Structure 1
Amino acid sequence: MRKDIAASVVASIESGDVDISVSADDVTDGETNVSMTVDERLRLEDIEVSTFETLDISSVMYITDEGGRVLFTLPDPAVTANNSAIADLQANATRSEVFETLDDDAGLWLLDEEDRVVGQVADYVTVQAHTAAIAGLLASSTGLGVFETLDTAISLMVTDAGDRIIQAVYTSDPALASAVASNTSAVAALTSRVAAVVTPEGARRNNPLNRDKLRWTHMKLAKLDPVLGEAAQLIICAGGDSYTHNVNRWIGPFTAKLAAKYGDAGGGWCGFGFLPSGNVAPWALGNQPSYIQGNARPNTYPTRHIGSAVGTYYSTASPDLARATLGVGDAVYQAIPALPVHNGCDLFFEGSADGVVDFAWGTYNGSGSVADPASYTFGAAASLNVQGTVNALQIADIKAGIPAGAGMLRITCTAGVPKLYGVNLKSAASGVRVNKLAATGSTIAQWANAPATHFETGIAALAPDLIIYMDGTNSQGAGISRSSWGAHLAVLMARIRAARPSIDILSATPAENQRTANPIAMTEYALENLYRASVGKWCAVDMQPLFGDAANPGEYGSTGSMPLYASDLIHPDPATGGRLLLVGMLDPIVPYRGA
């Protein structure tokens, strides 16, 4: 039904002599349209109206003029049957220019600047039936100028500045479909513009995305800036695959640059494990494992095996997924430089049934190679039981005897079968400490599925402020789907956050490689990375724009016009593409845009 208000009645309203109300019975059927003519509306423009909302079940919503006289009444929202709706509305009111109701038979109305109804969103029942969609919308909303609805019978409409419909998504309304069809050029232009700034899931395409989420990183680097010179230590862990494992690509220069500019807080992680591929035992100074984990600065912190240690990869409880299993007489050596002075060293190992080692520190005698044990004078050895809970991560403090200058740690197996992960070398000096944890050839699934609890314990012991994780090439080669890749990334970051609450996170994806017949495009991982970082509120970097067009990777391949990749088709050349990886990592991390 429709109730029109005559001009004479309007005059009476203006004089304040008449109160007009519409009963709840008249409007609760949802069909009543209370309106007035254009002329009548214009006459009422100078009347100041307000609304009085109440949760009292005996009251309705009143619309009054400036004199407090009731002009209209709106339906009683039957709050007795909607206590949960009241709580939801009170907790989540958007304060947008809408009329919100607690009546599950009424809708949420959208009003224009003249308070005319221009649309209806969803009723309470529909909203409750779409809680998952609501959560997704809240998590990924981009703030675009669109009319969004949770009612599956209503389209998502995009309008231009003149409120003309230029695109309707998933519409079955013939009128809207016609409007879209008549604006094909506008739709195409809009689609292109929107696709350039947001992913299909609504994540912004900023690159880097969420730079501002690196709070610990930026705060500590600001303190460490030579201009301020305040005491602080920024500790970084960098995981992933061969892109990060090979120190010559980006992690080595990255570590050296940060230490030179902000100070050196020690060597950090030195992994003893290695991939059992390439060179074979027995190990000697001139014959080392081909893919030893080592340190981010291996020339400054060389790691050496002597004997016949066996490497295990991808499946251990170590922070870098790798392990070295020693036999009686086997030894591992780890050197430290004169500066910074180190005053801490923790041995990470896996519990075994019978392992026992001796450890001793040696002082550099001033001549010979720093990687050669013969260049050091070692003190008395101390025995260490490396047993404990079998297969569980254990940590032992072995700093006793560490020299104040250049030195070397020697660990020798004296009994059983010790399973060693590596050491964390620490200095009390202000500066940056980088722990290179990447495992060459690894996939995101292997990182996400690292042994529960023990992996978190190892990360917590390293105490990082920032975790960097870059993955793509091996996961791509293994055919891991985009959805699975994203799920693994979310699990990995959740585990890291469980170990280090409030940690800064930077996840990165590489550029497309030149390998033929890839089962999934790298751009799919890049889009998923942006989406997961948007929802998870961490920083994300897509390396693709630094290298070129993903649709033409040959252009930056080893034989392309700008050769940035190696001839193996899957790795950036350290001297060219590696430097772009360095730029891509430094950009969001270093304050003042890479200064």
Structure 2
Amino acid sequence: GSLTPLFREGQFLTGRFVTFASGAGRLAKSYNLSHVDLTKQDALAVSCRLHVESGSCKFYAQFMKNSEYLYVPQKEFGVGTHQVNFVVKLGDIPTHLNFLFDTTAGTRIEVTNFGLAFGLNVERMSAPLPVAYLPSSKGIAESESTYPLRNFKVKSEQLKLNKVLAGESSGASSGYITPTLLNVGFVGDSWTHAYNRYSGSLAIQLASQFGDAGAGWISFGAFNRLTPTKWLGQNGNIRPHLYRVQYDDDAKWNKGIYANCPTPDICTAGSDTVGAKIIVNGVKAIKKADLLYIPASGSFDYRFDGGDWITVETSGSEAVNVISLSNIPAGNSWTFELVVKSGLCLISGMNVIQSDSGVLCHKLGATGSRALDWATQDNEAMIASFKALSLDTAFIMLATNDQGSGVTPDSFRGYIQTIVQRLRKANPAIDICLVAPCENIRTDNAFPMQSYTRQVQTLAETYDCGFIDLQLSFGADPTYYAATGVNPLFNADKIHPEPATGGRLISAAILRHLQ
């Protein structure tokens, strides 16, 4: 369009970064629908919030199939605040949607809350389109703006239709809705590793709202510190109250690799002690379970519910290997046992799917890890590990340990870029949201967190990712949310958010983006 928008705090509409334009011309916003699984039967709804301060504005919603105009609903608006809504049913499948605002001389407008929905009940569904698609003025930084997820196929909408509108239980099919499985991964460090900070809360809420598809990734990796002070920081599952991992003896599992191997959470358990055992207790019947291990010199036996042992030889040339487990149980509670039979075994974890529809959440957090640790793993092996989880959506939150170890912001950006590229290689249609941590309370950081945040936001724009700046949730002043502050959101260690306060802010911020 001929008008170049500015992004500012709304004077008439709510929001810190609404779109403002003035003068005569056209403000244009284009959205590519080619990745959206539309059918000719789908009704489509577009919406936005518009305020005309002066003059007049004519709004067009152009549904296009390549260069062909399929349908162009339009309406003229005078001074005032307007909720713009159009619901259409097209005879063909559009590839693009254009929002156009034609203005006259002296016109001043604000616009926000662009929405697109499709499905059985579009009037009740909406999702923000990426702000990143709007052109920005030269020299006008879009700092602190938050970018919703890119690919609004809107799988969460389909899940809601499946579970709520059709009144179905997870996994059922009404005959006119195809059950949908949404795989969501959370990649990160100790902020993600500790399920009670934010990831576990999110998994519980998503399963409750959209349907529980199962355990997801159950990691066997653990930060196993035997001396001088014994401590076992198990990675485990995102909901350990439902899916519990146990070592028979910590000392037997002392050959593991932590934050330095090409598995989904860059960790693996390891033992060369014959008879060393890992036990997993879980709930609900299993539809499919895969085990991921790193080939080594040993062999192991596994079984479910005290059944026959199955032997697996782990030798091989692959960097990682995935096998489908046999004799999976049909009961509502189960026990999985894995025992070292010979040699060195490096067992990373298992991916457990228990329904064809709903949300499957994967906690991919390695405590103490840096973006550098993730990026320096074998490229093809990491792609294979991500692909093994069939991720539809991934949230990446790193930087705290990069900052703590003095990694430069420029280098950090390169490491995050590598992770993004690998996720896209594993699934080109994946939604990726980059989450920037808020500033911590440490006083010896070589670089402020905002210097890493700026790099992450630039990557989000370049790679068409979502973006969340947690500084906006926690507030500008770290002394305010320190453990000793007015509103204590951080732990006394000055590094981590307190689970019951700061952790809930993080889960709320991410949940807003998923919804």
TM-score (norm 1): 0.60
Contact 2:150-2:431 within 8 A present in 1 as well: no
Pick from 143, 156, 178 the counterpart of residue 135 of structure 2: 143
Specify the code of the residue in structure 2 equivalent to 1:564.
Answer: L
- Say whether 1:206 aligns with 2:206: no
- Say whether 1:556 aligns with 2:481: yes
Contact 2:151-2:429 within 8 A present in 1 as well: no
- Say whether 1:226 aligns with 2:164: yes
Pick from 328, 337, 360 the counterpart of residue 274 of structure 2: 328
Going from structure 1 to structure 2, the CA distance change for 1:332 and 1:579 (only over 3 Å counts) comes to same
Separation (CA, whole Å) in 2 of partners of 1:472 and 1:415: 40
Going from structure 1 to structure 2, the CA distance change for 1:214 and 1:540 (only over 3 Å counts) comes to farther
Task: Please give the residue correspondences for 1:344-423 in structure 2 after superposition, counting only pairs within 5 Å.
Answer: 344-353=288-297, 355-362=298-305, 378-389=306-317, 392-423=319-350
Specify the code of the residue in structure 1 equivalent to 2:294.
Answer: E
The offset of 1:143, in angstroms, is 3.5
Considering only aligned residues, what root-mean-square deviation do their CA atoms show, in Å? 2.4
Separation (CA, whole Å) in 2 of partners of 1:297 and 1:278: 26
Task: Please give the residue correspondences for 1:202-351 in structure 2 after superposition, counting only pairs within 5 Å.
Answer: 205-207=144-146, 209-215=147-153, 217-228=155-166, 229=168, 230=177, 231-277=179-225, 290-307=232-249, 308-310=252-254, 311-326=256-271, 327-337=273-283, 339=284, 341-351=285-295
Gaps of 5+ in 2: 1-131, 169-176
Deviations 1:412-466 (A, max 9, x none): 1111111110111111342111111110100011111122211111111110110
Separation (CA, whole Å) in 2 of partners of 1:584 and 1:214: 18
- Say whether 1:565 aligns with 2:513: no
Separation (CA, whole Å) in 1 of partners of 2:308 and 2:156: 44
Separation (CA, whole Å) in 1 of partners of 2:359 and 2:400: 29
Taking every aligned residue pair, what percent have the same amino acid on both sides?
A: 28
Contact 1:350-1:420 within 8 A present in 2 as well: yes
Going from structure 1 to structure 2, the CA distance change for 1:493 and 1:401 (only over 3 Å counts) comes to closer
Deviations 1:119-163 (A, max 9, x none): xxxxxxxxxxxxxxxxxxxxx9963456xxxxxxxxxxxxxxxxx
Pick from 384, 388, 393 the counterpart of residue 466 of structure 1: 393
Separation (CA, whole Å) in 1 of partners of 2:215 and 2:418: 29
Q: 1:509 aligns to what?
A: 436
Q: Which has the larger radius of gyration?
A: 1
Specify the code of the residue in structure 1 equivalent to 2:494.
Answer: L
Going from structure 1 to structure 2, the CA distance change for 1:411 and 1:545 (only over 3 Å counts) comes to same
The offset of 1:214, in angstroms, is 4.6
SS of structure 2 residue aligned to 1:459? helix
Task: Please give the residue correspondences for 1:132-211 in structure 2 after superposition, counting only pairs within 5 Å.
Answer: 143-144=135-136, 194-195=140-141, 198-199=142-143, 205-207=144-146, 209-211=147-149
Contact 1:276-1:312 within 8 A present in 2 as well: no
Q: 1:21 aligns to what?
A: none
- Say whether 1:589 aligns with 2:501: no
Separation (CA, whole Å) in 2 of partners of 1:259 and 1:212: 22
Deviations 1:478-515 (A, max 9, x none): 11112111111111101110111110101101110110
Going from structure 1 to structure 2, the CA distance change for 1:216 and 1:331 (only over 3 Å counts) comes to farther
Specify the code of the residue in structure 2 equivalent to 1:322.
Answer: C
Going from structure 1 to structure 2, the CA distance change for 1:462 and 1:211 (only over 3 Å counts) comes to closer
Task: Please give the residue correspondences for 1:68-79 in structure 2 after superposition, counting only pairs within 5 Å.
Answer: none
399-408 or 306-315, which deviates more: 399-408
Specify the code of the residue in structure 1 equivalent to 2:245.
Answer: T
Pick from 380, 383, 386 the counterpart of residue 453 of structure 1: 380
The offset of 1:352, in angstroms, is 1.1
- Tell me which protein shows more strand as a share of its residues: 2
Gaps of 5+ in 1: 1-139, 147-190, 200-204, 282-286, 363-377, 591-595
TM-score (norm 2): 0.69
Contact 1:247-1:297 within 8 A present in 2 as well: yes
Going from structure 1 to structure 2, the CA distance change for 1:144 and 1:473 (only over 3 Å counts) comes to closer
SS of structure 2 residue aligned to 1:564? coil
Separation (CA, whole Å) in 1 of partners of 2:489 and 2:473: 10
Separation (CA, whole Å) in 1 of partners of 2:466 and 2:322: 31
Q: 1:426 aligns to what?
A: 353
The offset of 1:397, in angstroms, is 1.4
- Tell me which protein shows more helix as a share of its residues: 1
